[in-house]
A = this chain, B = another copy of it.
Amino acid sequence: MAHPPTRPNGLAYKDAGVDYSKIDPLKIDAQRAARETAGNLAHTGFTEITASRGESAYVVDVGDFMLASITECLGTKVLIADKMRAITGKTYFDALAQDTLAMAINDIITVGATPISVQAYWAAGSSEWFDDKQRAHDLVRGWKEACDKCGVTWGGGETPSLGGVVEAGTIDLAASCIGIVRPKERSTLNNKTKPGDAIILLASSGIHANGVSLARKLEAQLPDGYSAMLSDDRMYGDALLDPTVLYSPVTEALYKGGIMPHYIANITGHGWRKIMRHEAELTYRFRMIPPVPPVLQFIQQHAGMSNADAYGTFNMGAGFALFVAPEDARRTVEISDDLGVNAYHVGTVEAGPKQVIIEPIGVTFTADDMHLRA
């Protein structure tokens, strides 16, 4: 395939086929209708945690503990794997399985939950998808290994063949997860975050599974496509497929160590703008930034993205944010580092308008830069 020469081209996320301005209004309508169903819980004697609406997982108080639930999908990362297989011979579906579970598990733990079980949703474009035994086996194996890493049971799932809905030759991967918040004091949904809290960023492994459409669009513009070499001598496509870090071992270790984060944000779509997800009016100031993975440096450079675009789209090396009491900051970093997940105490919560100030790169995101809530 011929590629046009690489050039700074100001590739914006909207150009890559994901237009958040079109998705978010429906999301907000749906959230509004969903809120109106809250009363349906009355006959169970359980109580909805209203503050969980608009957060990453839905939470219900069931008496002895709280129950959290979520459904998340992988997105278009499978399309990269399909192309890379022709280059390296690997299926990458073990990595994609971990990515898919990470989308659900890294979200459900933000409310203070311990994930307990997951359901798989694997919707293929045709029955033939399942004929490829190596790929199917890698998917099953990767899914199981990610469950084992996070201490969750794999409860079951759905493996439909959806010709005409899912594209031929590909698969739509998603996961749902249930978790428990026990003791209930672990809940991050009660405005514990306050000025002075330390912000600990946990290292990402690369792009994770957000911003992938843009990474794919860039590939089409590179002379060597996914075979382009990064600064660390890895292939662009191979590095894109590094699986998302599973952060639940870290949060579980924190609880065991007696540390309860005040708030937690999973840095996914909208990049660092997700750091101001909490509903309170607070300022999040970063004096330093974690190292940027070579694959994200590469994308920013070759797509000609400003720092504001890059940090507003990608995780830029920070896959997860923990907001903890200042006296817990050092141990939080140690516990995470000990588990092999590099942690950086680089930010502080301050009184002030809702904004994320990233001092080293001179970027500020304000509340106007993200509207996720109805």
Name A residues whose Cβ lies closer than 8 Å to a Cβ of B: 17-19, 22-23, 25-27, 29-31, 33-34, 36-38, 40-41, 43-44, 46, 48, 52-53, 57-58, 60, 62-64, 67, 69-73, 75-76, 78-79, 114, 116-117, 119-121, 123, 126-128, 130-131, 136-137, 140-141, 143-144, 147-148, 150-167, 170-172, 174, 176, 178, 180, 213, 216
A-B contacts besides A29-B136, A34-B157, A73-B121, 13 pairs, CB < 8 Å = A33-B140, A33-B143, A34-B155, A37-B148, A40-B147, A48-B153, A58-B156, A70-B156, A75-B162, A75-B165, A76-B164, A165-B166, A166-B166
Q: A46 near B116 (CB under 8 angstroms)?
A: yes
* A23→B78 contact, CB < 8 A: no
Q: Which B residues lie within 8 Å of A44 (CB)?
A: 114, 116, 180
Inter-chain contact A17/B163, CB cutoff 8 Å: yes
The majority secondary structure among interface residues of chain A is mixed
Which listed residue, B41, B130, B165, B174, touches A121 by the CB 8 Å rule? B174
Residues of B within 8 A of A170 (CB): 164-165
Residues of B within 8 A of A180 (CB): 44, 62
Q: Which residue of B lies closest to A213 (CB)?
A: B163
Q: 27 A-B pairs, CB-CB below 8 angstroms?
A: A17-B126, A17-B163, A22-B161, A26-B140, A30-B143, A34-B154, A37-B144, A37-B152, A37-B153, A40-B150, A57-B156, A58-B119, A58-B155, A69-B119, A69-B155, A70-B119, A71-B157, A71-B176, A73-B121, A73-B158, A75-B165, A76-B162, A76-B165, A121-B174, A164-B167, A165-B170, A165-B172
